[in-house]
Structure 1
């Protein structure tokens, strides 16, 4: 699909964020300037056969759905016959560049919120049942047609059917009903019940999901990081201890001191920013390994930069930056961070914003830029080549 085709038509990101994001659903008809399905069904089926790709097959009657985890056998689909079924494949954007391109129109949402692009293929009547998600999702119809029903708002107290692998709603109250055709998009906010059913035998849907850490995940992750760095001799002390009327009481003064021991470091925003940048960029699929068989030398990198080159991000790598101070950026890549001096700020910000950065030819190549590119390339986070090498 062309760059023009990737643009959303008749869509105002600011209006969307103000009126719809995490508030209410939105149906966008004929969302793209031109739509061309970026992945063939056979290619999706091929991915589900791979051991390193997360996939699921769902089949059976709507009241008794069965889920089978991949990798699937090559003849598995033939054995399904004419009964409705659905194939779900996670993180297809990490494997297929044309699917990764689907993320481009949604870059008005911070990159660290992006989870992945899940792709589903279903035959007529196929679906995963009524459910709700704890994250935002854009459902892009690729091939065929799918009917979406939207229902009630849900939370952790909402009753679910007993099922080992699927979180299906015990009750679903359909309140809105839309038929999506190729190029249509449906935005569903977190907590809203929805149920999609394929209306054709060639139904492909691209689910662009956005992650949101829970309070529990933040507490557990940051507290664990802080705990790992504590000294064994940093302990509670009470040199001003006085006799208590009742020795069985944990006195208010002791609780205040204990609480302060816990909360003082939790309030260190600088430490939290570094930890969260690492947490938010941890790779979900480490098997997509771009580490070169032979590492590039600093001299070779300098030659490439001087002649002009392209830098391409590994689609499985996550990049983000945090402004540490007016003169320093904290670059986070795949769960690791490094402080970057001001001379590299433009390059770092471009690299975090775009999957592809073009570096113009120049004789003035800094050792700092060479060193950063060397580290990222030899760690497998980026590819570096002359203009045109990446097609």
Structure 2
């Protein structure tokens, strides 16, 4: 397996990037992902957008906004060939979760190994002819914008917040005012631009171009609270009414002291070992869930063929369209696949899955002591994929 260098300038270490740029300021990385050059062409992405199982959007922009009519029109998948007929001059098609369609593309996540894999969201492609864009906007997540074909001009402006006003009656979140521009350059194939959350940006295709967005997300507190509540329903002790100190008070009043006592017991539980276990599991399940439905492989190797391929030099790797992660507890290592806790694994299987989750390619000698049927099941589930020997 070819090792992919980190997507950073030679003058910046991963530690420097995380301390000085991550979620703070943008960074242009010239030829940060040269592997993308010629990997795909525009027709490939049009064909993919038409796939029945694809998650795609077609965004068209009218030449001018008429009264009572939106300037932008949005059509979500499923898309058909007729959707691409008689298009206006400016349009863009976006396809999400490319990892599930191209494991080879998914392997490019290795270039961002300085970001924990559990923060990876998906790889999205944006295809547009000259003049096409998705308007001036910002994202709530970090994104590495990698040019794979053609060229695109990027402008970066101010940081936005909840007070930012969006253009009314449009199907997507857009605004007019980017403030003072801090960046205005054209990216060529292989170039990468890191954009932190909430930084306004505006990209315009200079010709037929493909831009690949490597997005990174974190969970929000509401997701964690919901997950903790779900897990807590399995703890019978939490259904026992609390014991609270009582003072003489008006019968209709809920005093602040009572609320404070309830809050104190809640926080005490969350800060206990039981609470640590609940929160650990809740976070692991939330961050491990796929945002998009898994696309199961149409054909997989049977167990005998899998072991034969491995013995002939094939390697097993984590499938980057899935979420394989682990955490260490006082009782050992707990593994999760796509948000589901994996119980009943023996030590050898745990050790192999940990290495795969860390992005390590494994050979026959690494897995020869694992039950072959287990390996085949992992492959069928989509947790791992096999790269055949050349």
- The secondary structure found in structure 2 opposite 1:79 is coil
- CA drift of 1:20 comes to 0.7
More RCO (CA 8 Å, sep 6+): 2
* Cα distance in 1 for residues equivalent to 2:382 and 2:202: 39
Give the total of aligned pairs. 378
**Residues 56-75 of structure 1: pairs in structure 2 closer than 5 A:** 56-61=57-62, 64-75=71-82
**Mapped contact 1:292–1:380 kept (Cα < 8 A):** no
Partner of residue 357 from structure 1, selected from 334, 339, 362: 362
Matched, 1:45 2:46: yes
**Mapped contact 1:25–1:186 kept (Cα < 8 A):** yes
Q: 1:127 — aligned with what?
A: 133
TM-score between the two structures when normalised by the length of structure 1: 0.84
- C-alpha spacing 1:145/1:303, structure 2 compared with 1 (3 Å): closer
* Cα distance in 1 for residues equivalent to 2:35 and 2:382: 34
* Cα distance in 2 for residues equivalent to 1:246 and 1:289: 62
Q: Structure 2 unaligned runs (5+)?
A: 66-70
- C-alpha spacing 1:97/1:373, structure 2 compared with 1 (3 Å): closer
Q: 1:16 — aligned with what?
A: 17
After alignment, is 185-194 or 347-356 more displaced?
347-356
- C-alpha spacing 1:227/1:345, structure 2 compared with 1 (3 Å): closer
**Mapped contact 2:27–2:194 kept (Cα < 8 A):** yes
- CA drift of 1:215 comes to 2.3
**Residues 329-368 of structure 1: pairs in structure 2 closer than 5 A:** 329-338=333-342, 343-344=348-349, 346-354=351-359, 356-360=361-365, 365=369
After alignment, is 137-146 or 338-347 more displaced?
338-347
* Cα distance in 2 for residues equivalent to 1:282 and 1:75: 34
* Cα distance in 1 for residues equivalent to 2:31 and 2:264: 56
* Cα distance in 1 for residues equivalent to 2:189 and 2:309: 42
Q: 1:78 — aligned with what?
A: 85
- C-alpha spacing 1:4/1:323, structure 2 compared with 1 (3 Å): closer
Runs of 4+ in 1 over 6 A off after TM superposition: 291-295, 299-309
After alignment, is 43-52 or 310-319 more displaced?
310-319
Partner of residue 227 from structure 2, selected from 217, 221, 246: 221
Q: Structure 1 unaligned runs (5+)?
A: none
**Mapped contact 2:72–2:171 kept (Cα < 8 A):** no
Matched, 1:96 2:102: yes
**Mapped contact 1:329–1:342 kept (Cα < 8 A):** no
- The secondary structure found in structure 2 opposite 1:157 is coil
Matched, 1:281 2:288: yes
**Mapped contact 2:313–2:389 kept (Cα < 8 A):** no
- The secondary structure found in structure 1 opposite 2:111 is helix
What value does the CA root-mean-square deviation take over the aligned residues?
3.3
* Cα distance in 1 for residues equivalent to 2:99 and 2:252: 60
**Mapped contact 1:58–1:85 kept (Cα < 8 A):** yes
Matched, 1:106 2:108: no
- The secondary structure found in structure 2 opposite 1:357 is coil
- The secondary structure found in structure 2 opposite 1:75 is helix
TM-score between the two structures when normalised by the length of structure 2: 0.84
**Residues 1-391 of structure 1: pairs in structure 2 closer than 5 A:** 3=3, 10=10, 11-32=12-33, 36-61=37-62, 64-80=71-87, 83-175=89-181, 176-200=183-207, 202-227=208-233, 229-230=235-236, 233-238=239-244, 241=246, 244-267=248-271, 268-290=275-297, 310-325=315-330, 328-338=332-342, 343-344=348-349, 346-354=351-359, 356-360=361-365, 365=369, 373=375, 376-377=378-379, 379-383=381-385, 389=388
- CA drift of 1:230 comes to 4.6
- CA drift of 1:328 comes to 1.3
